[in-house]
């Protein structure tokens, strides 16, 4: 039995030397020195020995156990160091590899267009005047020369609130009255940007919400020529120095006379394409001289002061500029669209 024990000892040592991972090592320990391991199993056979043989066998078992335990500890230490070294080698930073780029967010195309418009008007001496999205019927219509039952109200389909007379503004024009009631007439060179809301069927061409940038300039002796000059300058800064513009007569209740401004098509340079419907022109804003009634409602004397107002749609401008065919993309939150700008 002592020979059997010695053979087991030798075999166990050989196997231990080849244990190449902590997992294999633990399995070796379980099979050899564990409670149901081979050494333990052999020890239980001590009952089959004669009383004289037992002490020598017991002594040898203890020696073998101790030697194997030592061999195991040594091997475990060795493997642990090897694994740490391997981990260090694996995690070494290779500074010559290309880095991972981080994903950057970017501005919404409507915000970009708005900022472009703000910058141009700021360069021309206009400051931003903001007013609220929720308005009264009085500010949104009546003070802008659109009384109750006026047929022009049909131009704006309105979102009403549960509070009578309180609506979502259908245009940024009520800001004109707020600005006039806030500033002295000589100080008015403002643009009034903001979201507007209309109760409309949502289609590729119309949305229930969209931005507008309104503008207002007031002073003594401001004429229609000032309006034309300023808006032409804006169009050239926005769409290019050589860009041609034209004004067409129109009707708005809060300006008189009123006009719409077209720019030479920015996609085909006036040669005719699908976007300009082969006319060579794109309508980009409405404008006119402030109506005397609006001046009176703002607290200014129309006999003393004159001025012009205009309004444009940044989303419409962005659609023309980038060839966006469907206005629903703007508020659809589709990254495939938004990431293109
Ligand atoms: Zn065109």
Gap between the Cα atoms of 288 and 290, Å rounded: 6
Gap between the Cα atoms of 211 and 171, Å rounded: 9
Do residues 153 and 146 make contact, with C-beta atoms less than 8 angstroms apart? yes
Share of residues in the chain with pLDDT > 70 (%): 100
List the structure tokens of 273. 């394409």
Characterize the bridge pairing of strands 127-128 and 209-219. Answer: unpaired
Centre of ligand 1 to C-alpha 81, Å, is 74
Centre of ligand 1 to C-alpha 264, Å, is 8
Centre of ligand 1 to C-alpha 258, Å, is 25
Task: Decide if pLDDT at 245 tops 90.
Answer: yes
Centre of ligand 1 to C-alpha 147, Å, is 39
Gap between the Cα atoms of 305 and 295, Å rounded: 8
Gap between the Cα atoms of 173 and 297, Å rounded: 13
Centre of ligand 1 to C-alpha 245, Å, is 14
Centre of ligand 1 to C-alpha 105, Å, is 32
Domain at 110-338: CATH code = 3.30.930.10
Q: Is 31 exposed, middle or buried (0-12, 13-18, 19+ CB in 10 A)?
A: middle
Mean pLDDT score, 236-263: 95
Centre of ligand 1 to C-alpha 157, Å, is 30
Centre of ligand 1 to C-alpha 15, Å, is 84
Centre of ligand 1 to C-alpha 320, Å, is 9
Between 227 and 268, the more confident residue is: 227
Q: What is the dihedral of CA 131, 136, 142, 144, to 10 degrees?
A: 10
Helix (H, G, I), strand (E, B) or coil at 100: coil
DSSP H or E stretch at residue 1? none
Centre of ligand 1 to C-alpha 238, Å, is 17
Centre of ligand 1 to C-alpha 266, Å, is 7
Ramachandran category for residue 165: left, alpha or beta (phi over 0 → left; psi -120 to 50 → alpha) = left
pLDDT for 6-50, tens place per residue?
Answer: 888 888 888 888 888 888 888 888 888 888 888 888 778 777 788
Gap between the Cα atoms of 12 and 6, Å rounded: 10
For 172-192, b/e burial (b = at least 16 CB within 10 A) is: bbbbbbbbbeebebeebbbbb
pLDDT for 299-331, tens place per residue?
Answer: 999 999 999 999 999 999 998 888 898 899 999
Q: How many CB atoms lie within 10 A of CB 288?
A: 23
Characterize the bridge pairing of strands 209-219 and 189-197. Answer: antiparallel
Centre of ligand 1 to C-alpha 107, Å, is 27
Res 261: pLDDT:
97
Centre of ligand 1 to C-alpha 329, Å, is 22
Mean pLDDT score, 240-251: 95
Centre of ligand 1 to C-alpha 313, Å, is 18
Q: Which residue has the tokens 């007439």?
A: 185
Centre of ligand 1 to C-alpha 94, Å, is 54
pTM of the shown model: 0.69
Centre of ligand 1 to C-alpha 280, Å, is 5
pLDDT for 140-185, tens place per residue?
Answer: 999 999 988 887 777 778 999 999 999 999 999 999 999 999 999 9
Centre of ligand 1 to C-alpha 173, Å, is 30
Centre of ligand 1 to C-alpha 323, Å, is 11
Q: Which residues contact 84 (CB under 8 A, 6 or more apart)?
A: none
Q: Cis omega (within 30 of 0) on the bond before 257?
A: yes
pLDDT for 4-18, tens place per residue?
Answer: 888 888 888 888 888
Between CA 140 and CA 143, with CA 141 as vertex, the angle to 5 degrees is: 95
Centre of ligand 1 to C-alpha 321, Å, is 11
Centre of ligand 1 to C-alpha 198, Å, is 28
């Amino acid at each position: 039995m002592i020979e059997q024990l010695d053979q087991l000892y030798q075999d166990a040592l050989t196997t231990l030397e080849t244990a190449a991972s902590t997992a294999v090592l633990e399995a070796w320990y379980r099979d050899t020195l564990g409670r149901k391991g081979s050494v333990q199993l052999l020890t239980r056979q001590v009952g089959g020995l004669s009383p004289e043989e037992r002490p020598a066998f017991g002594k040898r078992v203890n020696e073998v156990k101790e030697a194997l335990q030592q061999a195991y500890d040594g091997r475990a230490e060795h493997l642990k160091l090897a694994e740490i070294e391997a981990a260090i080698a694996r995690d070494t930073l290779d500074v010559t590899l290309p880095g991972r780029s981080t994903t950057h967010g970017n501005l919404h195309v409507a915000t970009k267009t708005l900022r472009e418009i703000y910058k141009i008007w700021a360069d021309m001496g206009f400051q931003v005047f903001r007013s609220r999205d929720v308005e009264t019927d009085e500010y949104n219509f009546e003070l802008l020369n659109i009384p109750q039952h006026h047929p022009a109200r049909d131009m704006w389909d309105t979102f009403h609130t549960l509070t009578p007379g309180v609506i979502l503004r259908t245009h940024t024009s009520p800001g004109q009255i707020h600005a006039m009631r806030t500033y002295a007439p000589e100080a008015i060179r403002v643009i009034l940007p903001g979201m507007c809301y209309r109760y409309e069927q949502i289609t590729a061409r119309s949305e229930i919400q969209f931005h507008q940038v309104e503008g207002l300039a007031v002073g003594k002796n401001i004429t229609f020529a000032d309006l034309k000059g300023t808006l032409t300058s804006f169009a050239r800064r926005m769409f290019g120095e050589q860009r041609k513009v034209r004004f067409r007569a129109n009707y708005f209740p809060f300006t008189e006379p009123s006009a719409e401004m077209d720019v030479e098509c920015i996609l085909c340079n006036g040669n005719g394409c699908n976007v300009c419907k082969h006319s060579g022109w794109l309508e980009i804003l409405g404008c006119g001289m402030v109506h005397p009634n609006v001046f009176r409602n703002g607290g200014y004397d129309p006999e003393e002061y004159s001025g012009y107002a205009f309004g444009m749609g940044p989303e419409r401008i962005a659609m023309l500029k980038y060839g966006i065919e469907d206005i629903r993309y703007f508020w659809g939150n589709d990254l495939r669209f938004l990431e293109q700008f």
